[in-house]
Amino acid sequence: MRCVLVLYNIVQVVALIVVAPLLFVKSILTPRHRGRIGLRLGFGLANEMGGLPAGRPRLWIHALSVGEVSSSRALVRAIRERYPDAALIFSATTRSGLAFAYETLGGTVDRVIPFPYDFYFSVRRALHLVRPDLFLLVETDFWPNFLGQLASRDIPALLVNGRISAAAFHNYQRFRFLFAPLFNSFRLLSMQTEGDAEQMRQLGVEAGRVESLGNLKYAVPAVPVPDEVVRQRFGIPAASQVWVAGSTHAGEETVLFGVFARLVERFPDLYFVLAPRDVTRAPTLLDEAHQLGLKAGLRSAPRLPGANLLILDTLGELASLYAVAEVAFIGGSLVGERGHNPLEPAALGKPVLFGPHMEDFAEISRDLLACGAAVMARDGAALSTCLSAWLGEPSAACKAGEQGRALIAERQQGVVARYLATVERLLPKEGS
């Protein structure tokens, strides 16, 4: 690990000489990045960490972006219940992940902070100020300096809900001399499946450092909101059928708009909710919808009478909209974005549609397809056919949704408890 870190930091210093001026300009000219870049370099972090009492166990939980933050929520809440006096520090790397963490976990954890850049000095300062007793990494976001300094300080690191895609495994094998020491720096790697665990062993990770605890994504919280409350909040007509497309990407929305235009001719009461993964794209999507002759509006703006297409430009509201949907479509799957988590609507008993690109959720999508809770549509024509079938026969849609709900109830049994027991085992005991 030491040789890997020396080489890594030499390359990094050279790169930093080139990148530093760009970071400086970006932090000055872009207000939304100004504070985050400073905090990621360690400036101002002391103020963020101020006020946390000493003498309490400290757990630092990190998630890369929105998907990983979502996966962590059940475990974070369970940790809070098990350790009510502990200081929980939660970090995310992306701006959207950070915003989602504030929205969904701000009342559960003590601090939400941006993850430090993996420079030696910024990592060292962050660890000095946070002083974690245990570090939990959710799924992915491996950084050599950070993991190396955790190991040098004898701070146990736990990988939570680890997964390895086929592409990632290929890359890890090619550069095994770099990744094997990195993975072996964890005290324990808890993987989603036994197949993931076996791949870690094949990469040279010591057998005693790897185990399979199940997929934490199945512990998705299902808190349905009354239908009439959601419809009133979002201005959705009471008698309409609702189709929700969540976390969509560029290249998908045009297809979805076309499908909606065809469907609304057959189902005139159909109401379409589109939630782009990047909400800053919402105004552009609104313009595109208008050019196609669709009656669309933004969540944050007043809508014209008769509008039947709502484009979300806000964060944290998609889950409540799934609660009133007849059918949910999972974005990132018609284009090569590897898909997003289909469990949130499935946990609410909603049938799920997605495209052929669900690589990041391969196990989950296979399970949903196998039990009849989901259908894979390769293109707009197939998507239109599937939607027509479920919208035209609501009893079949309800049956598919209930099959998904039952699958999730079966799979989530004990998974949070197993992860919680692992946290308890790794967290240093008082006085040790």
Report the pLDDT value the prediction gives residue 140, as an integer from 0 to 100. 87
Report the pLDDT value the prediction gives residue 303, as an integer from 0 to 100. 86
Looking at the chain, the domain(s) classified CATH 3.40.50.2000 span 227-411
- The third-level CATH classification (topology) of the domain covering 35-41+57-220+413-426 is Rossmann fold (3.40.50)
Please name the amino acid found at residue 54: A
CATH class of 227-411: alpha beta
Each residue of 196-248: pLDDT tens digit? Answer: 999 999 999 999 999 999 899 888 766 667 889 999 999 999 989 999 999 99
Looking at the chain, the whole-number percentage of residues with pLDDT higher than 70 is 92
**Rounded mean pLDDT, 348-360:** 95
Better pLDDT: 11 or 414: 414
Report the pLDDT value the prediction gives residue 413, as an integer from 0 to 100. 75
In this model, does residue 28 exceed pLDDT 60?
no
The owner of tokens 């007849």 is: 326
pLDDT band at 18 (very low <50, low <70, confident <90, very high): low
How many Cα atoms are found within 13 Å in the side-chain-facing hemisphere of 219?
25
Alpha carbons 133 and 54: distance in angstroms, whole number: 12
Alpha carbons 66 and 398: distance in angstroms, whole number: 28
Alpha carbons 130 and 88: distance in angstroms, whole number: 10
Each residue of 135-146: pLDDT tens digit? Answer: 999 998 999 999
**Among the listed residues 258, 287, 251, the one whose alpha carbon sits nearest the alpha carbon of residue 272:** 258
Report the pLDDT value the prediction gives residue 226, as an integer from 0 to 100. 83
State the chain's mean pLDDT as an integer: 91
Report the pLDDT value the prediction gives residue 184, as an integer from 0 to 100. 94
Report the pLDDT value the prediction gives residue 23, as an integer from 0 to 100. 61
Longest Cα separation, the chain: 69
Tokens of 227: 């239908």
The owner of tokens 């800053």 is: 280
